[in-house]
Amino acid sequence: MTQRLDYLKESPSQTAGPYVHIGCTPNFTGIEIYGGDLGTSMKTGPVKGEEITIKGVVYDGTGTPLRDAMVEIWQPDAAGLFASANETRGQADPNFTGWGRSPGDMNTGEFTFETVKPGAVPFPDGRMQAPHITVWIVARGINLGLHTRIYFADEADANAADPILTRIEHQNRIPTLLAEKSADGSYRFDIHLQGPKETIFFDI
Amino acid sequence: MSPIKPTGGFIPRDRNWQPDALTPPYKTSIKRSPQAALLSFPTTLSEETSPVFGHNILGELDNDLILNYAKPGESAIGPRIIVHGRVLDENGRGVPNALVEFWQANAGGRYRHKKEAYQAALDPNFGGCGRTITAEDGSYEFRTIQPGPYPWPNGMNDWRPAHIHFSVFGHGFAQRLITQMYFEGDPHIKLCPIVGVLKSQEAVDALTALLDMNRTVPMDSRAYKFDMVLRGRRQTYFENRKEGL
């Protein structure tokens, strides 16, 4: 008998189910507790950088909006620094949490994040990545939370040099990762779980 | 020589162990499962960092579902239990300061939600959610009532085993995890299409909590032990991240 490696297995994921909002945004469901839901606001005071709004809907393979999803985003501040204990490069904007959580609109499923345009963050090899926001999606019917990223259509030069975007085989799918400015000034980032417009999801 | 610290990227997720996206017996997965290949790449700072949740966000009753929605002097109805365990990483280290959120049906199997249609009664003293943050050794605990099994629309007669949902926030966004805890001995476990997405008995066992008589409070509450494991980071002393990818 050989030795054993003794690593633990990651806990298997299970779907967040139809009532994830009870657990993660209880006030949204009418359970008034905790003094408010976590992740509702990403700003705790005046923030540095360009303030932006991102809106979108999560669609299933039939084009139907999900109204029982939870979307979380995580990003650096305008200078590219994270408000994280693991951030060693400097002090992030103290008025910006970098983290948002949205249950989506009760009727339309549309999620909204009031945030700032993120600064650029290096790839492990030192090259700069294009400005992006990390996204995590859970819902009934999703067995393992889905990771993707929001990049910005108006950062064409940075996107063209991005270490991840440039290694995507099907370059015609890159628009699924790009937030576009809408007429109302907000960025639009819809997420398609499957179908011809299926969003690129990450194994990360 | 300085100690080797696990500051490398996160160990890749084992996709042969985690459930697939498309699991037809769980019908909702059919139209909600991505079909293109996932894009694999090493974690970057965006996934290796995570927001900080301080213990100061917690209220005194946040981890007590028996009392956190109850009227003064009253309490939720059902079998009183304590759920406790540790949040660990794949290297076996306790994960301190992890935000752990949990939600569940009441003792009759009914959720407090406007879309919930099961005829079992609501408990006016039970909200069904709680949260805590792990201690320095990764340990956590909360008190609740044991939830009931309930029927759900999938097959003509599918019932969920009694379960508690968990959402865990570790130290990197790559560790983000939602899962469910089941109770030892529940005959619905082997019948459930959602449990059925798990690929092995070992995976089912990893989500099945055991009765823990050592942690019961005599004449008060039984206890179940439930450990959770988040992705770990690679050890990097000999790794040159400038060249390695």
Give residue B242's pLDDT.
Answer: 45
Q: What tokens appear for A18 in the block? A: 């139809």
Residues of chain B with C-beta less than 8 angstroms from the C-beta of A124:
9, 42, 44, 241, 244-245
Is pLDDT at B238 greater than 70 in this prediction? no
Confidence check on the interface: ipTM exceeds 0.95, yes or no: yes
Is pLDDT at B40 greater than 60 in this prediction? yes
CB contact under 8 A, B31 and A149: no
The question of whether B163 is a catalytic residue gets the answer: yes
pLDDT tens-digit readout, B161-194: 999 999 999 999 999 999 999 999 999 999 999 9
Q: How many CB atoms lie within 10 A of CB B220?
A: 9
The question of whether B160 is a catalytic residue gets the answer: yes
pLDDT tens-digit readout, B91-140: 999 999 999 999 999 999 999 999 988 999 999 999 999 999 999 999 99
Q: Which of B68, B226, B85 is nearest to B145 (CA)?
A: B68
Give residue B237's pLDDT.
Answer: 59
Residues of chain A with C-beta less than 8 angstroms from the C-beta of B176:
72, 136, 145
Residue of B nearest to A92 (CA): B51
Give residue B8's pLDDT.
Answer: 82
Give residue A1's pLDDT.
Answer: 80
| CB proximity B49 to A under 8 Å | yes
Residues of chain A with C-beta less than 8 angstroms from the C-beta of B19:
12-14, 143-144
| CB proximity A142 to B under 8 Å | yes
Give residue A169's pLDDT.
Answer: 94
| CB proximity A94 to B under 8 Å | no
Give residue B236's pLDDT.
Answer: 66
At A165, is the secondary structure helix, strand, or coil? helix
Whether domain B27-32+43-230 has CATH 2.60.130.10: yes
C-alpha distance from residue B224 to each of A50, B132, B181, B203 (Å): 49, 16, 10, 18
CB contact under 8 A, B33 and A194: yes
Q: Number of C-alpha atoms within 13 angstroms, CB side, residue A43?
A: 15
Best of A6, A21, A22, A137 to mutate (most B CBs within 10 Å, chain B)? A22
Residues of chain B with C-beta less than 8 angstroms from the C-beta of A24:
101, 103, 167
Residues of chain B with C-beta less than 8 angstroms from the C-beta of A147:
47, 174
Instruction: Label the pairing between strands B208-211 and A202-203.
Output: unpaired
Residues of chain B with C-beta less than 8 angstroms from the C-beta of A82:
45, 49
CA–CA dist A112, B112 (Å, integer): 25
CB contact under 8 A, B26 and A143: yes
- Provide the shortest C-alpha distance from residue A68 to chain B (in Å): 10
**Phi, psi of B225, deg, nearest 5:** -110, 130
pLDDT band at B52 (very low <50, low <70, confident <90, very high): very high
The question of whether B26 is a catalytic residue gets the answer: no
| CB proximity B103 to A under 8 Å | yes
Is pLDDT at B1 greater than 50 in this prediction? no
User: Are A26 and B129 a contacting pair, CB within 8 Å?
Assistant: yes
All residues at 6 or more sequence positions from A40 whose CB lies less than 8 Å from its CB, including other chains: A25, A100, A101
Q: What is the block-wise mean pLDDT of chain A (204 residues), using blocks of 10 residues?
A: 92 98 98 97 98 98 98 98 94 98 97 98 94 98 98 98 96 98 97 98 96
CB contact under 8 A, B115 and A18: yes
Interface of A with B in 157-196 (CB under 8 A): 164, 167-168, 170, 173, 193-194
pLDDT tens-digit readout, B138-158: 999 999 999 999 999 999 999
The full set of domains in chain A, from first to last, is 20-192 (2.60.130.10)
